[in-house]
Amino acid sequence: MKKGKLVLENGQVYEGFIFGYDHSSSGEVVFNTSLTGYQEILTDPSYYGQIIIMTYPLIGNYGTNETDIESEKVQASGLIAGSYEENWSNHDGLNSLDDYLKKNKVIGISGIDTRALTKMIRSEGAMRGMITGEDIPDKKLTEKVLASPKMSGLDLVKFISSRKNYTLRSGHNDSKGKKAKYKIAVYDFGIKKNILREFLKYDTELKIFNAESDYKEILDYKPDGIFLSNGPGDPEAVVYAIQNTKKLIETNIPVFGICLGHQIISLALGAKTYKLKFGHRGGNHPVKNHLKNKIEITSQNHGFAVDEKTFDPDIVRITHTNLYDNTNEGIRHKKFPVMSVQYHPEASPGPNDSKYLFEEFIGMINK
């Protein structure tokens, strides 16, 4: 395998071996603690602009397929693995991870001490980095990294939201002329396919709207409910979404948000967000549900959080809290039918403890 380097903005350089598409790629370097699910993680649009460290040491051992995907392509800028396994085995598998990354023109690097690298990220915080096979001095590579954009202030949603609106219908209303029981307008800020699959388990028609669609276009659809999806980048930079959400909350139509959608709703309600030191990414995060007084193990992927102290307690009820660092994980509006969570109840990958939230949203629509 060809030798390559991971170069970080703090000047650290890690040498390893290139796999996947051989080119140079920069992004914010973050880590994910999931034990499996690298294909779902790589294709999650929330990872747009990021290079992912997989803390599980062996990556590639079950190859890739056409079902474990969360979007139409790999969205991450790069992948860092402790050990890449070329000899894969999976009854659903079609290609090696190496071939999959080459097809998607995404670079990977292996042979790096991902334990030491993750400990450094935990200590110093997520930072800009570059994976490259270029044989040029480390100093020049570091200068290239420092010239790349920081994540704070970036609106990345506009790069990955669907350009055209489209409609999906569940199998409940396949018969000719039969209308769905629920019409849900979906704001696509970088939506994962499994969120759509969860909604389609109900008798639903989903109309997926581009992230910059005006709130009036949403209302013209006459939805029974409105969903705000996950997505990448700094939530405060997605100004158009915040402004549209303010208008939609006041219509009294039920609103549900996940991850970036939760942050957009919070900002629309007057709260503030801030960048976490190294974020929450993985399938093993404990969250307390205050409404049920239960602990849920959740799937997470976010680098920003809502500042709980900036909520107006007269209008917002805190419903979920992250037990690792006590950051906010969920809210409900005290007047309007609005609910949102910071984590990913649809999982993929991860545990299914929180899938009840889709049913709760349908119940909110029924009321």
pLDDT single digits (tens) 31-85 = 999 999 999 999 999 999 999 999 999 999 999 999 999 999 999 999 999 999 9
> Of 121, 147, 173, which marks where a domain is finished?
147
In a shared domain, residues 64 and 180: no
> C-alpha angle with apex 85: 82 to 25, nearest 5 degrees?
55
User: Is 186 in the same domain as 122?
Assistant: no
Do the domain assignments include residue 216? yes
The average pLDDT across 267-272 equals 98
Q: How far apart (Å, rounded) are the C-alpha atoms in residues 136 and 294?
A: 54
Catalytic residue among 280, 285, 320, 344: 344
pLDDT at 172: 64
Q: Give pLDDT, residue 181.
A: 96
- Same domain flag for 195 and 260: yes
CATH of the domain at 127: 3.50.30.20
- Are 143 and 190 part of one and the same domain? no
Same domain, yes or no: 181 and 103: no
Nearest to 170 by CA among 187, 185, 183: 183
Q: Are 141 and 6 in contact (CB under 8 A)?
A: no
Q: How confident is the model at residue 174 (pLDDT cuts 50, 70, 90)?
A: low
Q: Which of 9, 70, 198, 346 is catalytic?
A: 346
CA distances from 63 to 131, 255, 280 (A): 22, 38, 25
Query: What's the pLDDT at 178?
Result: 83
> Of 205, 236, 259, 280, which is the active-site residue?
259
User: Are the CB atoms for 145 and 167 separated by under 8 Å?
Assistant: no
**Can you list the alpha helix ranges (DSSP code H) found in 167-312?**
193-199, 215-220, 239-249, 260-268
Instruction: Give the residue from 70, 78, 24 showing the smallest Cα distance to 49.
Output: 78
**HEC sequence for 218-253:** HHHCCCCEEEECCCCCCHHHCHHHHHHHHHHHCCCC
pLDDT digits (tens, 9 = 90+) for 253-264: 999 999 999 999
Within-domain flag for 164: yes
Does the annotation count 285 as an active-site position? no
279 & 300 share domain: yes
**What three-state secondary structure class fits 122?**
helix
Residue 117 within a domain: yes
* Weakest mean pLDDT among 54-63, 132-141, 174-183, 310-319: 174-183
344 is catalytic: yes
What does DSSP say about strands 78-80 and 25-32: parallel, antiparallel, or unpaired?
unpaired
Question: What is the span of the domain harbouring residue 340?
Answer: 157-366
Which residues lie closer than 8 Å to 300 by C-beta, 6 or more apart? Answer: 280, 281, 282, 283, 285, 342, 343, 344
CA dihedral of 171, 182, 46, 284, whole degrees rounded to 10: -80
d(CA 328, CA 338): 16
Give the residue from 147, 182, 216 where a domain finishes.
147
Residue 337 near residue 364 (C-beta atoms within 8 A) = yes
Q: What's the CA gap between 100 and 130, in Å, rounded?
A: 20
| Residue 163 and residue 143 share a domain | no
Q: Per-residue pLDDT for 299 more than 70?
A: yes
Q: Determine the residue type at 169.
A: R
| Neighbour-count burial for 102-125, b at 16+ CB within 10 Å, e otherwise | bebebbbbbbbebeebbebbeeee
Q: 217 and 75 share a domain? A: no
Q: Give the confidence band of 176 by pLDDT, cuts at 50, 70, 90.
A: low
User: For residue 210, is pLDDT > 80?
Assistant: yes
pLDDT of residue 175 exceeding 60, the answer is no
Residues 143 and 168 grouped into a single domain? no
Strands 3-8 and 13-20: antiparallel
Return all residues near 131 (Cβ < 8 A) that are at least 6 apart: 4, 5, 6, 18, 24, 25, 51, 78, 80, 107, 108, 109
Mean pLDDT in residue range 14-43: 98
308 is catalytic: no
pLDDT at 1: 86
| Residue whose pair of structure tokens reads 């097809």 in the numeric block | 103
- Within-domain flag for 152: no
Bridge partners for 266 per DSSP: none
CB within 8 Å of 138: residues ≥ 6 apart: 5, 7, 11, 13
Looking at residue 173, its pLDDT comes to 58
Are 339 and 209 in a shared domain? yes
How far from the centroid of its chain's Cα atoms is residue 342's Cα? 10
Domain count, the chain: 2
- What does the mean pLDDT of the chain come to? 97
Do 193 and 336 belong together in one domain? yes
Residue 41 CB coordination number (10 Å): 28
The last residue of a domain, from among 147, 180, 212: 147
Same domain, 75 and 187: no
The answer on pLDDT for 195 being more than 60 is: yes
**Confidence class for position 187, pLDDT limits 50, 70, 90:** very high
What residue has token string 């917002």? 316
